[in-house]
Amino acid sequence: MDRLSSTALLPEAFQGTRDDITQQMGIVWEQIRTPVVVPLLRLSVFLCLVMSVMLFVEKVYMAVVIVLVKLFRWRPETRYKWEPMGDDAELGNAGYPMVLIQIPMYNEKEVYQLSIGAACGLSWPSDRIIIQVLDDSTDPAIKVGALHCIEPTQET
Protein backbone atom coordinates (compact mmCIF):
# COMPACT_ATOMS: atom_id res chain seq x y z
CA MET A 1 0.00 0.00 0.00
CA ASP A 2 1.18 3.46 -0.73
CA ARG A 3 1.51 5.72 2.23
CA LEU A 4 -0.29 9.01 2.00
CA SER A 5 1.96 11.98 2.23
CA SER A 6 1.24 14.94 4.44
CA THR A 7 0.93 17.14 1.39
CA ALA A 8 -2.04 15.11 0.21
CA LEU A 9 -3.92 15.49 3.53
CA LEU A 10 -3.00 19.03 4.60
CA PRO A 11 -3.23 22.12 2.44
CA GLU A 12 -0.10 24.14 1.82
CA ALA A 13 -1.00 26.75 4.46
CA PHE A 14 -0.77 24.11 7.20
CA GLN A 15 2.43 22.51 6.05
CA GLY A 16 5.21 22.57 8.61
CA THR A 17 6.53 20.69 11.54
CA ARG A 18 4.78 19.99 14.80
CA ASP A 19 6.89 22.63 16.53
CA ASP A 20 5.55 25.29 14.16
CA ILE A 21 1.94 24.40 15.00
CA THR A 22 2.69 24.36 18.73
CA GLN A 23 4.42 27.69 18.42
CA GLN A 24 1.45 29.15 16.55
CA MET A 25 -0.96 27.88 19.18
CA GLY A 26 1.23 29.41 21.90
CA ILE A 27 1.09 32.77 20.16
CA VAL A 28 -2.70 32.54 19.86
CA TRP A 29 -2.94 31.63 23.58
CA GLU A 30 -0.83 34.63 24.55
CA GLN A 31 -3.09 36.91 22.52
CA ILE A 32 -6.31 35.48 24.02
CA ARG A 33 -5.16 35.05 27.62
CA THR A 34 -4.78 38.68 28.61
CA PRO A 35 -8.00 40.19 27.21
CA VAL A 36 -10.34 37.20 27.82
CA VAL A 37 -9.18 34.71 30.44
CA VAL A 38 -7.74 37.10 33.03
CA PRO A 39 -10.93 39.23 33.35
CA LEU A 40 -13.06 36.08 33.65
CA LEU A 41 -10.87 34.77 36.45
CA ARG A 42 -10.97 38.12 38.24
CA LEU A 43 -14.77 38.19 37.98
CA SER A 44 -15.07 34.68 39.39
CA VAL A 45 -12.77 35.52 42.32
CA PHE A 46 -14.82 38.66 43.04
CA LEU A 47 -18.08 36.65 42.98
CA CYS A 48 -16.62 34.08 45.38
CA LEU A 49 -15.57 36.84 47.76
CA VAL A 50 -19.04 38.42 47.66
CA MET A 51 -20.71 35.06 48.37
CA SER A 52 -18.31 34.41 51.25
CA VAL A 53 -19.19 37.78 52.81
CA MET A 54 -22.91 37.01 52.39
CA LEU A 55 -22.48 33.67 54.18
CA PHE A 56 -20.57 35.34 57.00
CA VAL A 57 -23.27 37.99 57.45
CA GLU A 58 -25.96 35.30 57.52
CA LYS A 59 -24.10 33.29 60.16
CA VAL A 60 -23.64 36.38 62.36
CA TYR A 61 -27.33 37.31 61.97
CA MET A 62 -28.50 33.82 62.91
CA ALA A 63 -26.17 33.78 65.92
CA VAL A 64 -27.63 37.09 67.13
CA VAL A 65 -31.19 35.78 66.69
CA ILE A 66 -30.41 32.59 68.62
CA VAL A 67 -28.79 34.54 71.46
CA LEU A 68 -31.83 36.88 71.69
CA VAL A 69 -34.24 33.94 71.74
CA LYS A 70 -32.25 32.29 74.53
CA LEU A 71 -31.89 35.50 76.55
CA PHE A 72 -35.53 36.58 76.35
CA ARG A 73 -36.83 32.99 76.52
CA TRP A 74 -39.19 33.42 73.62
CA ARG A 75 -41.34 30.34 73.13
CA PRO A 76 -43.60 29.61 70.18
CA GLU A 77 -46.47 28.74 72.54
CA THR A 78 -46.48 32.25 74.00
CA ARG A 79 -46.43 33.90 70.61
CA TYR A 80 -48.87 31.68 68.71
CA LYS A 81 -52.05 30.82 70.53
CA TRP A 82 -53.17 27.46 69.25
CA GLU A 83 -56.01 25.40 70.50
CA PRO A 84 -56.99 21.86 69.63
CA MET A 85 -60.00 21.45 67.38
CA GLY A 86 -63.15 21.21 69.38
CA ASP A 87 -66.34 19.43 68.47
CA ASP A 88 -68.93 21.85 67.19
CA ALA A 89 -72.50 20.57 67.19
CA GLU A 90 -73.61 23.03 64.52
CA LEU A 91 -70.82 22.21 62.05
CA GLY A 92 -70.70 18.50 62.73
CA ASN A 93 -67.92 16.87 60.74
CA ALA A 94 -67.61 19.88 58.40
CA GLY A 95 -65.25 21.49 60.92
CA TYR A 96 -62.64 18.86 60.14
CA PRO A 97 -60.49 19.30 57.04
CA MET A 98 -60.43 16.69 54.30
CA VAL A 99 -57.46 14.37 54.71
CA LEU A 100 -55.91 12.21 52.00
CA ILE A 101 -53.70 9.30 53.06
CA GLN A 102 -51.69 7.56 50.36
CA ILE A 103 -49.99 4.24 51.06
CA PRO A 104 -47.52 3.23 48.34
CA MET A 105 -46.68 -0.46 48.10
CA TYR A 106 -44.64 -2.78 45.95
CA ASN A 107 -44.62 -6.48 46.86
CA GLU A 108 -44.76 -5.74 50.61
CA LYS A 109 -46.58 -8.78 51.90
CA GLU A 110 -45.32 -8.36 55.46
CA VAL A 111 -46.58 -4.83 56.07
CA TYR A 112 -49.67 -4.26 53.96
CA GLN A 113 -52.11 -5.32 56.71
CA LEU A 114 -50.29 -3.26 59.32
CA SER A 115 -50.08 -0.06 57.26
CA ILE A 116 -53.63 -0.23 55.88
CA GLY A 117 -54.98 -1.14 59.31
CA ALA A 118 -53.20 1.80 60.91
CA ALA A 119 -54.64 4.20 58.32
CA CYS A 120 -58.15 2.78 58.76
CA GLY A 121 -57.86 2.96 62.55
CA LEU A 122 -57.32 6.72 62.68
CA SER A 123 -59.82 8.67 64.75
CA TRP A 124 -61.09 10.99 62.04
CA PRO A 125 -64.59 11.37 60.64
CA SER A 126 -65.07 8.81 57.89
CA ASP A 127 -66.65 11.33 55.52
CA ARG A 128 -63.60 13.63 55.83
CA ILE A 129 -60.86 11.07 55.09
CA ILE A 130 -59.74 9.36 51.89
CA ILE A 131 -57.34 6.43 52.01
CA GLN A 132 -55.62 5.42 48.78
CA VAL A 133 -53.49 2.32 48.45
CA LEU A 134 -51.09 2.71 45.54
CA ASP A 135 -50.16 -0.88 44.80
CA ASP A 136 -47.71 -1.71 42.02
CA SER A 137 -47.21 -5.27 43.19
CA THR A 138 -46.44 -7.94 40.65
CA ASP A 139 -47.59 -10.76 42.93
CA PRO A 140 -51.36 -11.36 42.49
CA ALA A 141 -51.66 -12.86 46.00
CA ILE A 142 -50.51 -9.59 47.56
CA LYS A 143 -52.98 -7.57 45.47
CA VAL A 144 -55.89 -9.80 46.54
CA GLY A 145 -54.79 -9.70 50.19
CA ALA A 146 -54.53 -5.92 50.19
CA LEU A 147 -57.93 -5.63 48.53
CA HIS A 148 -59.57 -7.83 51.21
CA CYS A 149 -57.91 -5.77 53.92
CA ILE A 150 -59.42 -2.55 52.54
CA GLU A 151 -62.97 -3.68 51.80
CA PRO A 152 -65.27 -3.33 54.80
CA THR A 153 -66.92 -6.50 55.99
CA GLN A 154 -70.60 -6.84 55.20
CA GLU A 155 -72.59 -7.75 58.28
CA THR A 156 -76.16 -8.91 57.89
For 49-113, the DSSP string reads HHHHHHHHHHHHHHHHHHHHHHHHT--HHHHS---PPPP-TTTGGGGSPPEEEEEEESS-TTTHH
Using the Cα atoms of residue 109, residue 111, residue 113 and residue 115 in order, give the sign of their dihedral. Answer: negative
pLDDT digits (tens, 9 = 90+) for 59-82: 999 999 999 988 988 776 666 666
Q: What average pLDDT does the segment 77-91 reach?
A: 68
What residue spans define the domains of the chain? 13-72, 95-150
pLDDT at 11 over 60: no
More confident residue, 43 or 138: 43
pLDDT of residue 146: 64
pLDDT digits (tens, 9 = 90+) for 98-118: 899 998 888 877 788 888 888
pLDDT of residue 3: 57
More confident residue, 7 or 156: 7
Question: To which H or E segment does residue 39 belong?
Answer: helix 38-72
pLDDT of residue 19: 66
Highest mean pLDDT among 28-32, 52-56, 80-84, 87-91: 52-56
- Percentage of the chain with pLDDT > 90? 23
Confidence of residue 42 (pLDDT cuts 50, 70, 90): very high
Q: Give the C-alpha separation, 22 to 1, whole Å.
A: 31
pLDDT of residue 153: 46
pLDDT of residue 80: 65
**Residues contacting 141, CB < 8 A, separation 6+:** 109
